[in-house]
Amino acid sequence: MAASAIRTEGLSKRYGGLDALKDLDLEVGEGEVVGYLGPNGAGKTTTLRLLLALIQPTAGRAEIFGLDCQRQSVEAHRLLAYVAGEASLWPALTGLETLHLLGRVQGRVDESYRDELIGRFELDPSKKVRAYSKGNRQKVILIAALMTRADLLILDEPTSGLDPLMEQQFRHCIHEARDRGQSVFLSSHIMSEVEALCDRVGILREGKLIEMGTLAEMRHLSSLSVEVTFDGVLPDLSGVPGVSAVHAEGHVVRCQVRGSAEPLLKAIATSGATRVLSREPSLEELFLAQYGRKSEEEMPAAETSGN
Amino acid sequence: METEAALLGVARIGRSPGSVVARLTARKAIRSGILWGYVFGVVVASSAISYVSIYKTQIARDHLEAAFGANHATSALFGPASQLQTVAGFTVFKASMTLMLLGAVWGLLISTRLLRGEEDAGRWEVLLGGQTTRSGATLQTVVGLAGGAATLWAITAIITVVAGLSSKVQISAGPALFLALALVATAVMWLAVGALTSQLAATRRQAAAYAATVLGVSYAVRMVADSGIGPNWLRWASPLGWVEELQPLTSPRPVALLPIVAFTAALSAVAVHLAGTRDLGTSTLPDRANATPHLQLLSGPVAMTMRLIRSTIVGWGVAISLTGLLVGLVAKAAGATISGSSVEQVFSRLGAPGTGTATYLGVSSLIVAVLIAFVAGGQVTAARAEEATGRLDHLLVRPVSRERWFAGRCLVAASGLVACGVLSGVSTWLGAASEHAGLGVDTMLGAGLNAVAPALCLLGIGLFTMGVWPRATSVSTYGVLGWSLLIEIVGGVGALNHWILDTSLFHQMSAAPAVPPNWATGGIMLLIGLGCMAAGAMAFKRRDLTGE
Ligand SMILES: Nc1ncnc2c1ncn2[C@@H]1O[C@H](COP(=O)(O)OP(=O)(O)O)[C@@H](O)[C@H]1O
Ligand SMILES: [Mg+2]
């Protein structure tokens, strides 16, 4: 039986009294592209650092292609490439020197692909790292990971600091990797990025995996934040199908819309709306809309058990 | 937390835009000034108090003066000694050179940190996004640093005045204040040097290295002047010489304050001006931001470590070689003046009994040992910085085991230290041989290697702390180093008991070539160092990687 690219069992990490990650059971199959979504502080980086043995679990275990992440880390690392969230590099080395070093340490590099990536990401490799912007440092780390053509790519918010054009390039590279049969595990706090790339998505919140499934199964989560300005009396939108989290303030009503926007548009069409703004909600807003009530219910229970 | 501080700064700009940088800098500089003020005060007070307790009678004091007064051995190393028959004269002699050097190092480190370091870390971008210009921010930082220097002076002065109140010491307040001023003068000048090099260099490390080079040259010029080789005016060619010319307590010459003030003001003004003429994150001196790639020493973690520390070790190697050469050159002349029971007594307390060239070189080797120990301390903090900045992550997520990286660091650092010892031995021999001092190269090589043992032990202690308690690495390493140094300084006048003396790394070292190297003790220090490194590696393997 082929081992999965990543498998964790009850993986947990505590920092003092804080559960940064609690009982994570996760599996990433070979050749799969899996997104790992969660708001800031959810425990994404903690999970990835556990997989890479940069930190040690308080409980549970993890495997990469059947190799124990902690005890066989060197062997496991031969099969993967990692992009860290914070791109701190050696300031005195140039981009090319950095890539050369990281390639030699990894022990496997597709040099022509490396040069192609340098071109695609429009990186000037002759500059010293200290002269690079944050985005350029991020490019160096991305290229260093992609150029290895590793069997598994583990990426921690890889597009932070990249401009939209480069983000597009990045997505292109991930599609290529998938086509070559590489597995990808990608953390992000941006819904749309994960939607564009991943076969399956896990959603993490306060250290717990609360959802895991295909994008189709996740549809109920995708929604829009809408802000409508009226010049007259505010209509009551709370009964409109698909609309939730309605909040009125002065002439402005804010709400979340799930599924079709048609009922909402119908409802406001006759009420003198002067301005309609819509945007993708932040994950935090989504979670508030989806789970807010639930965690409020949980709280008193937690209090009584604490006493 | 860093961004928090920066944001705090921005928030405060809203309230009083004029002085936010000055106040942020002053807060950090004053905190450091208080700490070092205590160290300065303790050194001054302990010098005075130990003098009155050791040299109780006038006869003993006259003896000391007769022996040391015109003694090139000590004046080359520690500056001129005058009126050693008085508490005042002895205190100035005992405290001056140590505190001058310590003050200069403090000044250059803190000013490059708060100017170039903050800029490198990107915090200035946030501040300058506010309403301050680059020149303005630099000027404010300089003002904040001046606050730190004033604090250093104030604390030193208070402790000196209080010590002077003792009926045996009897130094009145005015002269005590002037003494404190003389002691912090180098600190002030090197704050300005650091401010200037922060503009010239492209990184904080470079800025600190430039400022340290200026210090090294100043020390060397002064050393030649004070050893009686060069012409008399030569002392005026070195900022450290100006401070000596202040002659606090013995025959004060406030006129020597003029070059000190002019130097400080000129350098600060140039620094502020240059800050306005360059872009954030760039240097005034040409920096090769675009460089042709050099791919040697990039094949793996060990080679890479060598490449990273190469320039540091070369810099130290040059400094140590020059020191060795100078010490060697003056050794014969200086050694010939060591005579009389008091000098011999002091030198033998430092572990170098007898008279002559070998005795002089024995005491000098303590200084070399201290330098090499600083190299070791730097290696420890450099290793820790790789981890704390997250750069190490890039290696450890690849097929590199933690043991391999850690062992590589140990090996490369230890080799660098040994190289420093060899350079010191050979260069001292070269200097001494050119004056026909009659010491063999093997003797001097032995003395050089002998001076490496405390550094290797310190390297082990530092890397052990990094393994078990990473965030305390720097504090514990420099704590052990500072403690050892302090004990050696205070112990040199003989006021400490055996148990305390034994806690100093440098006290464990024999003062070769005055006495033959004690390879057994050296070996024990080496073993302790190695044991610590092994234990540190084990602990490092088992713990989480930790940021700042
Ligand atoms: N070294 C640490 N010590 C203490 N708490 C930590 C440490 N690292 C992370 N945490 C905490 O663990 C939680 C998860 O952090 P992280 O994994 O970085 O989140 P994410 O990457 O999803 O933004 C946060 O609450 C964070 O404050
Ligand atoms: Mg993160």
Domains of chain A: 6-218 (3.40.50.300), 223-306 (3.30.70)
What's the whole-number mean pLDDT along residues B390-407? Answer: 96
Q: What atom of ligand 1 comes closest to residue B544's alpha carbon?
A: 1
Is the model's pLDDT at B40 over the cut of 50? yes
pTM of the complete model: 0.78
| Predicted confidence band of residue B398 (pLDDT cuts 50, 70, 90) | very high
Q: For B472-519, write each residue's pLDDT tens digit.
A: 999 999 999 989 988 887 776 666 677 888 889 998 888 888 888 889
Of A137-141, A149-153, A202-206, A240-244, the range with the lowest mean pLDDT is A240-244
A74: nearest CA partner in chain B: B399
Distance A42 CA to ligand 1 centre (A): 7
- Ligand number with the minimum distance to the CA of A46: 1
Distance A20 CA to ligand 2 centre (A): 11
- Ligand number with the minimum distance to the CA of A47: 1
Q: What is the pLDDT of residue B356?
A: 76
Dist CA B40 CA B493 (whole Å): 17
Pick B300's closest partner by Cβ from A75, A104, A125. Answer: A104
Q: What is the pLDDT of residue B372?
A: 95
Which residue has a Cα nearest atom 5 of ligand 1?
A15
What does DSSP say about strands A152-156 and A80-83: parallel, antiparallel, or unpaired? parallel
Q: What is the pLDDT of residue A299?
A: 40
Closest CA relative to residue A49, chosen from A187, A201, A145: A187
Is the model's pLDDT at A54 over the cut of 90? yes
Contact B401 A73 (CB under 8 A): yes
A56: nearest CA partner in chain B: B544
What's the whole-number mean pLDDT along residues B45-63? Answer: 80
Q: What is the pLDDT of residue A175?
A: 95
Q: What is the pLDDT of residue B223?
A: 84
Phi, psi of A126 (to 5 degrees): -90, -5
Q: For A208-245, write each residue's pLDDT tens digit.
A: 998 898 877 766 666 788 889 988 888 888 888 888 88
Distance A216 CA to ligand 2 centre (A): 26
Q: What atom of ligand 1 comes closest to residue A13's alpha carbon?
A: 12
The fraction of chain B above a pLDDT of 90, given in percent, is 48
Contact A106 B398 (CB under 8 A): yes
Which residue has a Cα nearest atom 14 of ligand 1?
A43
Q: What is the pLDDT of residue B501?
A: 84
What does DSSP say about strands A183-188 and A223-230: parallel, antiparallel, or unpaired? unpaired
**Up-side HSE of residue B419: CA atoms within 13 Å toward CB?**
17
Dist CA A167 CA A152 (whole Å): 20
Q: What atom of ligand 1 comes closest to residue A47's alpha carbon?
A: 17
A72 near B CB under 8 A: no
Q: What is the pLDDT of residue B66?
A: 75
Residues of B in contact with A54 (CB under 8 A): 393, 396-397, 544-545
SS3 assignment, position B230: coil
Dist CA A170 CA A164 (whole Å): 10
CB within 8 Å of A172: residues ≥ 6 apart = A120
Instruction: Give ligand 1 pocket residues (Cβ under 6 A).
Output: A 15, 18, 20, 38, 40-46
A96 near B CB under 8 A: yes
CB within 8 Å of A279: residues ≥ 6 apart = A224, A225
Higher-pLDDT residue of B182 and B119 is B182
Q: What is the pLDDT of residue A296?
A: 43
Where do the H-state alpha helices sit in chain A?
44-51, 73-78, 95-106, 111-120, 134-146, 164-179, 191-197, 215-218, 262-269, 283-306
CA–CA min distance A16, chain B (Å): 14
Range picked from B118-132, B279-293, B410-424 for highest mean pLDDT: B410-424
Q: What atom of ligand 1 comes closest to residue B546's alpha carbon?
A: 1
Contact B399 A55 (CB under 8 A): no
Q: For A79-130, write each residue's pLDDT tens digit.
A: 999 999 877 899 889 999 999 999 999 998 999 999 999 999 999 999 988 8
ipTM here: 0.83
Q: What atom of ligand 1 comes closest to residue A46's alpha carbon?
A: 17
Residues of A in contact with B304 (CB under 8 A): 101, 105
Of A138-152, B252-266, B432-446, the range with the lowest mean pLDDT is B432-446
Is the model's pLDDT at B548 over the cut of 90? no
Residues of B in contact with A56 (CB under 8 A): 542-544
What's the whole-number mean pLDDT along residues B256-261? Answer: 96
Q: For B147-188, write each residue's pLDDT tens digit.
A: 999 999 999 999 999 988 888 888 889 999 999 999 999 999
Q: Which two structure tokens, joined as six digits, stand for B463? A: 């890397």
Spatial contact of B390 and A88, defined as CB atoms under 8 Å apart: yes
Which residue has a Cα nearest atom 2 of ligand 1?
A15
Most B CBs within 10 Å, among A65, A82, A102, A105, to test the B interface: A105
Q: Which two structure tokens, joined as six digits, stand for A136? A: 């350029």
Spatial contact of B48 and B87, defined as CB atoms under 8 Å apart: yes
CA distances B326 to A38, B116, B222, B511, Å, are: 64, 32, 11, 18
The answer for B 105-134 residues in CB contact with A (under 8 A) is: 120
Spatial contact of B466 and B22, defined as CB atoms under 8 Å apart: no
CA–CA min distance B390, chain A (Å): 6
CA–CA min distance A8, chain B (Å): 18
Q: Which two structure tokens, joined as six digits, stand for B328? A: 């060697």
Closest CA relative to residue B133, chosen from B287, B284, B283, B278: B278
What's the whole-number mean pLDDT along residues A16-36? Answer: 95
| Predicted confidence band of residue A289 (pLDDT cuts 50, 70, 90) | low
Dist CA B29 CA B147 (whole Å): 7
Residues of B in contact with A124 (CB under 8 A): 290
Dist CA B43 CA B155 (whole Å): 12
What's the whole-number mean pLDDT along residues A165-173? Answer: 94
Is the model's pLDDT at A190 over the cut of 90? no
CB crowding B432-457: b at 16 or more within 10 Å, else e = beeeebebeeebbbbbbbbbbbbbbb
Q: What is the pLDDT of residue A157?
A: 93
CA–CA min distance A289, chain B (Å): 30
Is the model's pLDDT at B536 over the cut of 60? yes
Is the model's pLDDT at A3 over the cut of 80? no
Higher-pLDDT residue of A19 and A192 is A19
